[in-house]
Chain A
Amino acid sequence: MTQIAMPQPDPLILAKRERIIAGLKERVPAQWVITEEDERRPYETDALTAYRRLPLAVVLPGSTEEVAAILSFLSREGVKIIPRGAGTSLSGGALPQEDAVVVGVGRLNKVLDVDFTNRTARVQSGITNLAVTTHISPDGFFYAPDPSSQLACTIAGNIAMNSGGAHCLKYGVTTNNILGVRMVLLDGTIVDFGGETFDQPGYDWLSLVIGSEGQFGIVTEATLRILRACEGARPCLLGFDKVEDAGACVAAIIASGIIPVAIEYMDQTAIRICEDFAHAGYPLDVAAMLIVEVEGADAEIDVLLTHIEKVARENGARIVKVSKSEAESAAIWKGRKSAFGATGRIADYLCMDGTIPTGQLPYVLTRIGEIVAHHRLRVANVFHAGDGNLHPLILFNANDVDELERAEQAGNEILELCVEVGGCLTGEHGVGIEKRDLMEKQFTPVDLDQQIRVKLLFDPDWLLNPAKVFPLNLHPLPLGRAA
């Protein structure tokens, strides 16, 4: 079996399943309460499919008020709650449990209000990240954080995981782009944190909520900071024969004082996989490639790219290829953003997510190669090199139990390596269940204790997305025997 333990379901809750379902149907139209086993099955997992737990029921509310009614009912009944957006979490953040009800926000997918003058957009939380930009792009605006999964993942999930993306090098991650949220607390109270501007009076509850992995409440609406798109943007591809050179080039570009909008790294395996899908014109005969994008007016872009080319050549780049058209730029990004999914063409994968100081890049790359080889597996490396956020994809065969275990072991060693070199366990995918048991490597007992106290403030009975983020042995309440 897979290595991460989940608690045994509470028999008392299972015993009153009918009553719980009846209660949900009183609060939400019956068609949005999913109870048949067949229909619960697809909700048993997220994008970390090695872990699967059939939920007790799934409910898809259509308004904040319905969410409030559901939460106050479920918390009174002592039922665990798993908030769910699009289920693209790679850390098992949306993994259900047998005695828990999944509350999905997929139906809350509307734009409520856009204020171009003040550059804000108020949306329901179940809208997808890309749909926000699609909605405002005819007016020349965009929402900056761009996880590779932006086509599918929701703003709710982004807030819960404090998601980042390629362009966060310049624009920051989710927390730098959210002005306010409407959230339903466990007892059904509806609260607004933040507002229409940064710097709201009072405690900064908002920052606390962003990145709280669905453990503080259910977010139903958000006010986003939107930005005016630059006059233009152009990516270029830099190809290297040596992996270390690519690593050194990243550091050199940043040291030279330029802040590109994005610097993305792909190794040869990843390049081949993505080119196969996106036909983006990636160089196939290099050991590693960087995608570097700059923005601005045409003249500015020209100057920046000339400078980047010079730095790249000095650092051993053999190929420098600038995008010549919008279509080419789109293909370049399509390839990069599909990297994980496209990997499915050749193997199953575990996607790791750690952050390291960029200077350590060459060393860490070498070590990752060694670790994976030691476990007799292969790896494809893609990552947001600009901010040192690594995503090694460990390739394995999911139908081979032993390979899965070796893959998980290799993954753990890679994450420990990140901590060792002064980085951290998670860049942007969150802790979920995946990194739960490694938290003690990152944090001291005092750190963890403080975090748990905050958690208990919102959720004293540990009902919201339990058995995630904190190692089970630190849970103050018995969560049942580990399975």
Chain B
Amino acid sequence: MQTSFSLAQLADSDTRESEKILRTCVHCGFCTATCPTYLLLGDELDSPRGRIYLIKDMLENGKKATVEVARHVDRCLSCLSCMSTCPSGVHYMHLVDHARKHIEETLPRPFADRLMRAVLATVLPRPELFRLSLFAARLARVTSPLLAALPFQWAKRTVAMLALAPDTVPMRSPYSEPVTIAAEGPRQGRVAMLRGCAQGVLAPEINEAAVRLLTRHGIEVVFAEGEGCCGALVHHMGKQEASHDQARRNIDAWISEMDGQGLDAILITASGCGTTVKDYGFMFRDDSAYAQKAARVAAITRDVCEYVLTLDVQPPAMPSRLVVAYHSACSMQHGQQIKTTAQGLLRKAGFVVKEVPEGHICCGSAGVYNILQPEIAGRLRERKAANIAKVTPSVVATGNIGCMTQLAGAVGVPVLHTVELLDWASGGPLPRKLTKNALFAQHG
């Protein structure tokens, strides 16, 4: 598309990138059809092409963000389905990140909105605080019926947030501290694994399964000193300073491992985080102190399933033939363009894998989206659950904690991380979520 930025505007690095992106968009509209919000709302303003145009208009004219523009950008899930669809290679992710930053900087939001965002941005990336808040949420849940009756968006969001808290808060994970877990047998490789913030608290069993799976196959796993939340969460709220601070800490932690004992890869077990860590190179492109280090980190970052594919995981002698619906997280299939790896691994591990119809559409989780946009998120969850039900699975597997919490109550069958099933099939224990279920106990 034609653009009209002044030379002064183009002196800004973010604007320069955005201009390049806008120039590649030919306004063909293909992306609208695979956008979850357009599917639900039918308004071009809530489609990628519409958002691109809103952003273009805002940036080109150097306008402050308006409530209207923010409304449509806020409704974007950042699922990046549009990037998979776009034939022209438009990098929507970087464009919308820029827009979010611009909105955060130029639009004063109402108090309740600001408060909610600040609370999320403070609590979620800090595991200890988050743990405490989960206990608090269980207590506070008694207020939900009252809140639900209120006509305010903040009340709806609070109800959504409380509903997401699990019924029981898991025990603190041994991997919440810096620690190295030695390989079983001769060491074949050494990797760092992201501890993750929210995931480590909500589902410590994921990293535990991943560690067992990796160490059993000769890989040493490090949870590096000083590493923490990847920064995605605040990044998606447009809070660039905070996200860059969090990212810098991780970069320092991993670089010191890379330069110390060395790393073959940095593994991420939540694809949401993986998308962001893989983008560190871009995030720090203009930071002379960090550009190179960030690019080095990004270059060896892998989703855990990508790495497991390189290991010699043998199929089990007695395949379980359990019917698994694989839900591909948006951050997996669109963000990282990993389309078939996990399914292949699960098949090889003896599971009967079913692809979910309309699999390219988001489940509505999308970081804290399900808290900030409860209506749309709720409709997407129902839609996803209905599609999953069509393949009548015994369990659902996915590679992202966000999707797991979003789908847990909606699908009526256990929702597990891919590595939990892979670990089980290659000699690990029966996943905890399956032990309560007679059907699976016999498999164990």
Which residues of chain A have a CB within 8 Å of any CB of chain B?
Answer: 32, 34, 36, 38-39, 41-43, 45-47, 49-50, 60, 86-88, 104, 106-109, 126, 128, 130-131, 149, 151-153, 277, 338-345, 348-349, 398-399
The 6 closest A-B pairs by CB, nearest first: A344-B88, A341-B87, A338-B87, A107-B42, A344-B26, A42-B53
Q: A151-B34, A342-B88, A399-B3 are in contact. Are A41 and B54 (CB under 8 A)?
A: yes
B32 to chain A: which residues have CB within 8 Å?
Answer: 86, 152
B27 A49 Cβ-Cβ under 8 A = yes
Q: A277-B87, A338-B87, A398-B2 are in contact. Are A39 and B45 (CB under 8 A)?
A: yes
A-B contact pairs, 26 of them (CB 8 A): A32-B43, A34-B43, A38-B66, A42-B44, A42-B50, A42-B54, A43-B44, A45-B27, A46-B27, A49-B2, A49-B26, A87-B44, A87-B49, A130-B33, A149-B29, A151-B34, A152-B28, A153-B29, A338-B87, A341-B88, A342-B87, A344-B25, A344-B89, A345-B89, A348-B2, A399-B23
Distance in angstroms between the alpha carbons of A36 and B39 in the assembled complex: 23
B50 to chain A: which residues have CB within 8 Å?
Answer: 42
Nearest CB of chain A from residue B425's CB, rounded to whole Å: 26
A34 to chain B: which residues have CB within 8 Å?
Answer: 43, 45
Cβ of B85 under 8 Å from chain A:
yes
Q: A344-B88, A399-B2 are in contact. Are A47 and B29 (CB under 8 A)?
A: yes
Nearest CB of chain A from residue B29's CB, rounded to whole Å: 4
Nearest CB of chain B from residue A259's CB, rounded to whole Å: 29
Nearest CB of chain B from residue A198's CB, rounded to whole Å: 29
Nearest to A335 among chain B residues (CB) is: B87
Q: A47-B28, A398-B2 are in contact. Are A60 and B87 (CB under 8 A)?
A: no
Question: Interface size bucket, B side?
Answer: 35 or more
Q: A60-B43, A341-B86, A341-B87 are in contact. Are A38 and B69 (CB under 8 A)?
A: yes
Cβ of B435 under 8 Å from chain A:
no
Nearest CB of chain A from residue B138's CB, rounded to whole Å: 36
Extra 11 A-B pairs, beta carbons < 8 Å, given A151-B30, A342-B88, A343-B88: A34-B43, A49-B27, A87-B44, A106-B42, A149-B29, A152-B28, A152-B32, A341-B86, A343-B26, A344-B89, A399-B3
Nearest CB of chain B from residue A272's CB, rounded to whole Å: 14
Cβ of B24 under 8 Å from chain A:
yes
Within 1-49 of B, Cβ neighbours of A (below 8 Å) are at: 1-4, 23-34, 38-39, 41-45, 49
Q: A39-B68, A42-B45, A109-B42 are in contact. Are A152 and B29 (CB under 8 A)?
A: yes
Within 59-104 of B, Cβ neighbours of A (below 8 Å) are at: 66, 68-69, 72, 85-90
Q: B28 touches which one: A41, A107, A340 (CB < 8 A)?
A: A340
A47 B57 Cβ-Cβ under 8 A = no
A45 to chain B: which residues have CB within 8 Å?
Answer: 27
Q: B33 touches which one: A47, A104, A152, A340 (CB < 8 A)?
A: A152
Q: B1 touches which one: A38, A149, A340, A348 (CB < 8 A)?
A: A348
A88 B45 Cβ-Cβ under 8 A = no
Interface of A is mostly: loop
B4 to chain A: which residues have CB within 8 Å?
Answer: 399
Nearest to A348 among chain B residues (CB) is: B26
Q: A60 touches which one: B42, B53, B88 (CB < 8 A)?
A: B42
A47 to chain B: which residues have CB within 8 Å?
Answer: 26-29
A38 B29 Cβ-Cβ under 8 A = no
A349 to chain B: which residues have CB within 8 Å?
Answer: 26
Nearest CB of chain B from residue A335's CB, rounded to whole Å: 9
Distance in angstroms between the alpha carbons of A128 and B29 in the assembled complex: 12
B66 A36 Cβ-Cβ under 8 A = yes
Nearest to B55 among chain A residues (CB) is: A42
B26 A340 Cβ-Cβ under 8 A = yes
Within 88-136 of B, Cβ neighbours of A (below 8 Å) are at: 88-90
Q: A152 touches which one: B30, B68, B69, B90 (CB < 8 A)?
A: B30
Distance in angstroms between the alpha carbons of A169 and B72 in the assembled complex: 41
B30 to chain A: which residues have CB within 8 Å?
Answer: 149, 151-152, 338, 341
Nearest to B25 among chain A residues (CB) is: A344
A88 B53 Cβ-Cβ under 8 A = no
Distance in angstroms between the alpha carbons of A68 and B107 in the assembled complex: 39
Distance in angstroms between the alpha carbons of A349 and B69 in the assembled complex: 28
A42 to chain B: which residues have CB within 8 Å?
Answer: 44-45, 49-50, 53-54, 57
Nearest to A48 among chain B residues (CB) is: B27
A50 to chain B: which residues have CB within 8 Å?
Answer: 2
B86 to chain A: which residues have CB within 8 Å?
Answer: 341
Q: A340-B28, A344-B26 are in contact. Are A398 and B44 (CB under 8 A)?
A: no
Distance in angstroms between the alpha carbons of A206 and B33 in the assembled complex: 28
A38 B33 Cβ-Cβ under 8 A = no
Distance in angstroms between the alpha carbons of A343 and B88 in the assembled complex: 7
Nearest to A349 among chain B residues (CB) is: B26
Distance in angstroms between the alpha carbons of A222 and B27 in the assembled complex: 27
Nearest CB of chain B from residue A258's CB, rounded to whole Å: 31
B28 A149 Cβ-Cβ under 8 A = yes
Nearest CB of chain B from residue A130's CB, rounded to whole Å: 7
Nearest CB of chain B from residue A95's CB, rounded to whole Å: 12
B68 A38 Cβ-Cβ under 8 A = yes
Distance in angstroms between the alpha carbons of A399 and B24 in the assembled complex: 12
Nearest CB of chain A from residue B388's CB, rounded to whole Å: 16
A341 B33 Cβ-Cβ under 8 A = no
Q: A42-B49, A86-B32, A88-B28 are in contact. Are A344 and B87 (CB under 8 A)?
A: yes
B29 to chain A: which residues have CB within 8 Å?
Answer: 47, 86-88, 149, 152-153
Nearest CB of chain B from residue A35's CB, rounded to whole Å: 10
Distance in angstroms between the alpha carbons of A245 and B90 in the assembled complex: 36
Distance in angstroms between the alpha carbons of A340 and B30 in the assembled complex: 11
B28 A38 Cβ-Cβ under 8 A = no
A345 B2 Cβ-Cβ under 8 A = no
Distance in angstroms between the alpha carbons of A87 and B3 in the assembled complex: 20
Q: A39-B45, A152-B33 are in contact. Are A398 and B1 (CB under 8 A)?
A: yes
B42 to chain A: which residues have CB within 8 Å?
Answer: 60, 104, 106-109, 126
Distance in angstroms between the alpha carbons of A46 and B1 in the assembled complex: 12
B44 A106 Cβ-Cβ under 8 A = yes
Nearest to A343 among chain B residues (CB) is: B26
Q: A38-B68, A342-B87 are in contact. Are A128 and B33 (CB under 8 A)?
A: yes
B89 to chain A: which residues have CB within 8 Å?
Answer: 277, 342, 344-345
Nearest CB of chain A from residue B25's CB, rounded to whole Å: 7
Nearest to A35 among chain B residues (CB) is: B68
B31 to chain A: which residues have CB within 8 Å?
Answer: 152
Nearest CB of chain B from residue A314's CB, rounded to whole Å: 34
Nearest CB of chain B from residue A213's CB, rounded to whole Å: 18
B87 to chain A: which residues have CB within 8 Å?
Answer: 277, 338-342, 344
